Structures are given as structure tokens and as C-alpha cells.
Chain A
Amino acid sequence: MTELEQTLSSGTSNAGAYQDYAIETKSLTKAFSGREAVSDLSLRVPVGSIFGFLGPNGSGKTTTIRMMLGLVSSNKGDITILGQPVEQLNQLARVGVVVEGPGFYPYLSGFDNLQRFAEVSYPAQKRLNPETSKLRRPDILQSLERVGLVGAKDKKYRAYSLGMKQRLSIAAALMWPRDLLVLDEPTNGLDPQGIVEVRELITSLNQEGMTIFVSSHILSEVEMICSHIAIMRDGVLQFQGSVEDFKGSLSKEFSLVTSQVDLAKEILVRFEFIDLHSCKIEGNHLTAQLSSENIEEIVKTLVEQGVGIRSVGLVEPSLEDAFVALTGRSSNVS
């Protein structure tokens, strides 16, 4: 357990104060018809972080997010959003949400859709801050401008491409001032350019002071922008903490290039230098988790057994590999 994790799991004294965590769940559990979708989940999303919520599809991410937003009830546990229990509806007025893809009225234009949501969310904004005034046409146009949809504002939503729909949902989430943004798979359906744009948008919103909670089943999409991550598998939290701690918690990987790669593998396993399950071979390149760190001993043994070595060393594992190791699945297979 890393130091941060220890402080996180033992730090109950000041936990719950909004200055620390934008989202906090305690022992959150949800079962659908007997099967647990989320088990005993205690998440802590630090204020000001970009928090990557990772896991393969079906690992309980969306159910967790739905519980955080009060859409789905929990069987057990508490959720605190921005320092208040999630049951206090007005809290959600400070949270921008994109959950499980865009949802708009197909028969309305992009502009009319935003206007509809501006109208329905106004009373809650007003309760939160009595000074708030209604969103006028220029405000809505500005939101559309931010995601590059002004040109398509009068087009019916049903004629939008998936990328445009996704952008519209981000625009809707950003219509009001927000303290927290919850984005569930926000890059689904976007082209590479769009993904880069969303990443940049997330980073710049974070720099403005917004805490961002972003889920993804594709690690590489969020790893470069996240300050913290949590990894889910089958409804169970596998890891949470800062990205540095995550990297630090990983042991280095043994890397060997040889033309006799199969022989090398057999020897390494026979002498119990490596764990068979972690061994991967690509062409004449072998990588594996080492059981012993004694690389000299390994090289000596390999040479003695007649394996020619082109190159050998210890490398930092990629986050992707660590992710696979924790979730048991490759992250970019959906």
C-alpha cells in the first residue's frame, strides 16, 4: 500500500469536509437482481484533481456514476458531493454532467435543446444563487461556440453526427458555472482530433479550478491528463491514488531481445526467474515480471544454456500493462 493510499484509507477525521474531496463515497454497494455491480466502494476524489475513473466495460463505473448523481439508489453506503449528501438535490446544480452518452430531443435543434435544458435547470441555479439570471440567447450561443457547434445550431439533433452529439452534451454541461464536472466516457464516438480537443478542454477547465471526474475504458485517453486515477474491476476498486503513486507501485519489467526467444522463455520459467503468466513475446522480444531482481544471474544462466542475447535490461512498465494486469483485460477492447 502506498503512502497516499494509507493516508486516504486512514484519514477519516477530516474526510467529508468539502475542502478535501469533491466526491466521497463510503462502502458504496449496489446489486442488480442479486448480482453486485459495485461492491464496498470507497472513493475519494480530491478537490482540484482530474480524476480518471478507469476500468473495462461492465466494471461498475457507470453504475457508480449514476449513484453519485442520484439516478440509481445504493443498497449500502454514503455519497457526499461537494461536501453535502447527494440526496440534497441542489448540490447537483454545481455539477456538470455527461453520463453514458448524449441525451437530447431528436426533433429539436441543437440550440433549442440547450435552451430546453437552460430552462429546466434555471430554478435549481436560482435556489443555489439568488443572483443568477436566466440564460439568454447569447449565453447559449457562447456555450455552442465553446464546442464548435454554432454553425450547426439550427440543425435538428437527429441529424447530428455522434461527435457533434457528444460536443453538444459537453456544451450543456458547461452552460452554468460548475465546481465539478462528471464526464462518463466523454470521448466515445469522437475522432482523434475531437479526443485531443476534449482533453485540452478538460485541462483548461481544471486550470480554471474545476474538479474533473472522468471515466473511461481507454486508459491511454486519459492517462496523460489525470492527476489521480481509480481502477475498477468487476465492481471492486483495485487502486486509487495519484498517477505517480500508481507508477511507483509497479515493479520494473524484464526485457530481453534474442533470436531464441522460445528457448529463453523455457529456461527463464524453469529456473523460476519469471512468472509464466506475465511473460509476453512479440517477435524476438520477450517481456516479463521478474521474480528475482538479480539480472546478472539471469544473463549468466541464459548464456550457459546457450541463448544468444542481443539486448537485455529492466524497463518501466507502461500504464497500459499495469492496467491490464489489474483489470485482466486490455483497455482498448470494448
Chain B
Amino acid sequence: MFLSEIKLLLKRRRTEVLFILLLLEPWLLAFLIYQFGGGGGQGPNFLNLVTHNGIFLVLASLSSLLPLLLPLAVSLVSSDAIAGEASNGTLRYLLTAPVSRFKLLVHKMSSSLVFIFVLSVTISLSGLVAGSVFFPVGKVLLLSGQTVSFFHGVLLVLLSALLVGLSLICVVAIGIAISTFTDIPVGATLGTLGAIILSEILDNITQVRGIWPLLPTNYWMSFSDLFRSPIIFSGISKNIVNQVGWLIFAFSIALAKFRFKDITS
């Protein structure tokens, strides 16, 4: 069943197109930086670092994709979980196959989770290749000033890919929860994306500082802490707790809604 879900996901043209577009993003970014240089910007400025060391292209790509395009891609997949099956008319056939409703949710959830990690790792690999094609690579200068070997750097890059994948867990969980409430996949996608954008907006409003730690996007950029020595783990570990919390919370809502729902699609 789990493999069947993965196959179903990969056999869909839409998923393939999404993948290709997201894998091309680092190349586009590399080309733009190569042409026009790194420039300013806010936060840990990976763009500036790229010209010195191509390895940073991965981080530049991930941090530019994370606020919007990655949540969009992931919510397209996760919100399709139940709503998509309902709109195809396949949900009633899955449940009479029979597959238990709990298992169906679990398989949808786990295949979407695999999807986000595969996505973030392949984007990183694509960025690594693009970075080394366009820019010099070598020893890596950390944000905190020390230098580590190239391979150490690659390891850190792959770890950040995993942390970015981990940050997207909330998008999967919220998407699946919303998709149990509607039979219209587009509605579920927009709802999910809306929730993420709302979280990002609230994350910038200081008046609601009190709820920041609960927002699913609050610790998203914590992966850059990997590039300090010693690594600052407080943000990263808070992100893990936050994402797992959202996973449990949203899955409980999905299960509560879906368990006894009348399937009329």
C-alpha cells in the first residue's frame, strides 16, 4: 500500500513537472548570481557567499524556496491526499478495497513525508552540482568565521537539506488534515498554503510575539545554525519539536474528522 502510494505520486505528470521546476531553481539562481553578483538582502546572506564558494548555492536555493515555492509544491501533494481521492471518485473504491481509514491516512501521510525529504535532498544535490559548475568550490568558510573542509561542508549541506525537509512536515500534516474536510483538492491546497502564509505573516508581527513559538514556520530558517561552530542547536531542536507537534496535532484532527465521515463522493 505504501509503495503503491509512492508509485501513484510519481506516475503523475504534475509531480514530475514540479520536481523538474524545483530542481532547475538552483541553476536559475546560479546563473543570476553569476551574471549579476550576490547583492545585499536580509538574514544570513548566502547569496553573497555563493560567489566565493559554490557550495553555498544549496543554502541560497533552499532559503529562497522555503517561504513559498516549497510549501506550494508540498501542499499540492499533501492536500490531494483525501480530497484528491474523493474528487477522482477513487476514495469509495479504496475504502471498499478494503483499506481501513486509519491506514489510508497513515499511508498518505508517510508517502507525503517521503516526498518532502526526497524533494529537499534532490534540490540540494542539484544545487551542489550547479554551484560547482558556476563557482569555485573548496574549503568552507562558516558563518561564525572558522573554515572547514569541503567534505565537512557537503555534509553540513546535506544535513540542512534534511532540516528543510523536516520543516515541511507541518505543510504535509496541515494539508492532509484540511483535505479530510473537503472533496475539492484545489480548495485544500489553497487552504494549506493560506495557513502557511498566515503563519509567516504572524511571525513578523511583534504584537503576537507570544504565539511565535507555536507557529509552524517560526524556526524554519534555523538550519543555517548548522554553519556555525559550534553548531547552535536550540533553534534546530525547537524546530523538530514544533514540527512533530504539528504532525501529531494535525493528524489527530484528520483522524477525528475522517474516521466516521460519511463518504458521499
Instruction: Please measure, in the bound complex, the distance between the C-alpha atom of A39 and the C-alpha atom of B14, giving whole angstroms.
Output: 45
> Are B99 and A120 in contact, with the CB atoms below 8 A?
yes
Cβ contacts B88-100/A at 8 Å (1 or 0 each): 1111111111111
Q: Which of B67-124 contact A (CB under 8 A)?
A: 88-100
Q: Is B260's CB within 8 Å of the partner chain A?
A: yes
**Chain A residue, CB-CB nearest to B104:** A120
Q: Which of B36-95 contact A (CB under 8 A)?
A: 88-95
Contacts of A123 in B (CB 8 A): 1, 99
Stretch binding the partner chain, chosen from B5-13, B154-162, B165-173: B5-13
> Are A71 and B96 in contact, with the CB atoms below 8 A?
yes
Contacts of A124 in B (CB 8 A): 97-99
Q: Which of B14, B89, B263 contacts A101 (CB 8 A)?
A: B89
> Are B97 and A120 in contact, with the CB atoms below 8 A?
yes
> Are B96 and A69 in contact, with the CB atoms below 8 A?
yes
> Are A107 and B89 in contact, with the CB atoms below 8 A?
no
Q: A19 to chain B: closest CB distance in Å? A: 23
Given contacts A99-B96, A105-B88, contact A120 B4 (CB under 8 A): yes
Contacts of A105 in B (CB 8 A): 8, 88, 90
> Are A121 and B88 in contact, with the CB atoms below 8 A?
no
Q: Is A95's CB within 8 Å of the partner chain B?
A: yes
Q: Is B208's CB within 8 Å of the partner chain A?
A: no
**Chain A residue, CB-CB nearest to B260:** A73
Q: Is A238's CB within 8 Å of the partner chain B?
A: no
Instruction: Please measure, in the bound complex, the distance between the C-alpha atom of A72 and the C-alpha atom of B264, giving whole angstroms.
Output: 7
Contacts of A103 in B (CB 8 A): 88-93
Instruction: Please measure, in the bound complex, the distance between the C-alpha atom of A120 and the C-alpha atom of B107, giving whole angstroms.
Output: 11
Q: Which of B14, B93, B98, B263 contacts A172 (CB 8 A)?
A: B93
Q: Is B3's CB within 8 Å of the partner chain A?
A: yes
Q: Is A189's CB within 8 Å of the partner chain B?
A: no
Contacts of B263 in A (CB 8 A): 66, 71-72
Stretch binding the partner chain, chosen from A50-58, A85-93, A265-273, A304-312: A85-93
Q: Which of A73, A92, A107 contacts B262 (CB 8 A)?
A: A73
Q: Is A191's CB within 8 Å of the partner chain B?
A: no
Q: Which of A89, A102, A107 contacts B11 (CB 8 A)?
A: A107
Stretch binding the partner chain, chosen from A4-12, A111-119, A240-248: A111-119
Instruction: Please measure, in the bound complex, the distance between the C-alpha atom of A66 and the C-alpha atom of B11, giving whole angstroms.
Output: 30
Chain B contact residues, CB within 8 Å of chain A: 1, 3-4, 7-8, 11-14, 88-100, 260, 262-264
Query: 6 closest Cβ contacts across the A-B interface?
Result: A103-B89, A92-B98, A121-B97, A119-B4, A71-B263, A72-B262
Chain A contact residues, CB within 8 Å of chain B: 66, 69-73, 89-90, 92-93, 95, 97, 99-108, 112, 116-117, 119-121, 123-124, 172
Known: A92-B98, A104-B90, A108-B11. 11 other contacts (CB 8 A): A66-B262, A69-B96, A71-B263, A72-B264, A116-B7, A117-B93, A119-B1, A119-B7, A120-B1, A121-B97, A124-B97
